[in-house]
A = this chain, B = another copy of it.
Amino acid sequence: MKYDISYEEYMEKVKLGILTESGNCPVIPLLRMLQGKWKFEIIYELCMKDAIRFGELKKNIDGITNTMLTSSLRELEDDGLVSRKQFNEIPPHVEYSLTEKGKDLLPIFYAMTKWGFKYIP
């Protein structure tokens, strides 16, 4: 499988500059997906539960507005990281959850956490 690159192979490609050539770099698109003030916190909330409702997300993420929560969720959905399930009930009921693609971000956050434990006071 093309994506089972080893760390040694990766370092070699970095040194040769192969990964950044002409839009080859897979990191920039991912950083774009995570950009924005609330994206990571939203993903983090979604990590903790199998599914979570709009209102609960809003309650848990301190300071976020309707507008930002909605637009962030839409973008994460468009990027395939989050899925939205709507129940046609009264009152309305919507549940958000991570897709497999979204759950596969966890090893990245793990690596970031290890770095952070070392360097963030």
Contacts and interface: CB of A to CB of B under 8 A. Distances in A.
B112 A14 contact: no
Interface size range on A against B: 35 or more
Contacts of A30: 112, 115-116, 120
A19 B113 contact: yes
A104 B114 CA distance: 10
Interface of A: 2-5, 7, 10-11, 14-17, 19-20, 25-31, 34-35, 40-41, 44-45, 47-48, 80, 101, 104-120
Given A3-B117, A7-B107, A28-B40, 11 more contacts: A3-B114, A3-B118, A10-B110, A14-B44, A14-B47, A17-B48, A20-B41, A25-B116, A26-B112, A29-B116, A80-B119
